[in-house]
Structure 1
């Protein structure tokens, strides 16, 4: 057995990335207040991200644009340090097909929702 040393990222660096993505500051503050994103896994974090950043009404599908999901998930996965680039690519490939494919070009109008990445067919977002 071996121990994996996790990296700690300063909150200011995450906030800087958030601002670079032109996301609303009040939503960043909400995420910080939530703390652990409401769970222990990156999957829980991404579900909460979708719920906070969606333009859908409360109780709706909590969709966010695929490029936004990709940027946030990739960033968090790289910070995690245990998620391989191949795993990130597999998740993105699956979701990209689910969101838009050649048979149904506007299947979800380019949006990802939690049901897409919570599906048993989707590669796991986390390393374990």
Structure 2
């Protein structure tokens, strides 16, 4: 027998009362994040929402800077999103990282290039990968550490961008260790001097606490 036609009227369609607010927040998130692939990003957004996970949403719209050739790669805002999503795990699988990376519509080639900089065969140490992301954004050790401070800080925008000394020391030591031109003794001397400098500040390191001459 043929399936009878079903007539729907407004009274028959149930719209959950929370749906308008969900769609409003989704629209605002899409405007702030401006994903290259709205369908892929939407999949990641609603997957995270349904699982109670941090959403793939930037805090604000990012403007391109003069050094960026295009807006298709990693940005400070997107690295901050990844940090919120993945930092709860000290070590994660490459597959987990790939999924979050893809849902932010980031180039797969850039991810592969970053992963090649270290041996992550037994899993990805998030803070090491975070450091590599900062190096991709910064270009130099100084700029990379500034990016790290500005992304990780709890200070308000425009503030000193402070982070704990131990976190700074870990990121700095890791990136310095990958730099073949950076003597280990020089890196250790810098951190020792910095530790003494910030001891009076509850061991918090801000961007103003280090200079070009001492790091590069």
Give the TM-score band, short-chain normalised.
0.5 to 0.7
Match of 2:126 among 8, 15, 18: 18
Offset of 1:17 from its aligned partner?
Answer: 2.7
Residue 92 of structure 2 aligns with which residue? none
Residue 41 of structure 1 aligns with which residue? 140
Q: How many residues align?
A: 99
Flag structure 1 segments of 5+ consecutive residues without an equivalent. 1-7, 101-106
Question: Map of 1:104-119 to 2, 5 A cutoff?
Answer: 107-118=200-211
User: Against the structure 1 CA distance between its residues 36 and 109, is the aligned structure 2 distance closer, same or farther, given a 3 Å change threshold?
Assistant: same
Residue 93 of structure 1 aligns with which residue? 192
Q: What TM-score, normalized by structure 2, do the two folds share?
A: 0.40
- Between Structure 1 and Structure 2, the one with more helix by share is 2
Can you list the C-alpha shifts for 1:48-88, whole angstroms capped at 9, x where unaligned?
10000001111110000000000000000001121111111
Q: What TM-score, normalized by structure 1, do the two folds share?
A: 0.65
Question: How many Å separate the matches in 2 of 1:92 and 1:75?
Answer: 12
Match of 1:63 among 162, 169, 174: 162
Provide runs of 4+ in structure 1 moved above 6 Å. Answer: none
User: Against the structure 1 CA distance between its residues 108 and 119, is the aligned structure 2 distance closer, same or farther, given a 3 Å change threshold?
Assistant: farther
Residue 5 of structure 1 aligns with which residue? none
SS in 2 for 1:36: helix
Structure with the larger RCO, 1 or 2 (CA within 8 Å, 6+ apart): 1
Larger CA Rg, structure 1 vs 2: 2
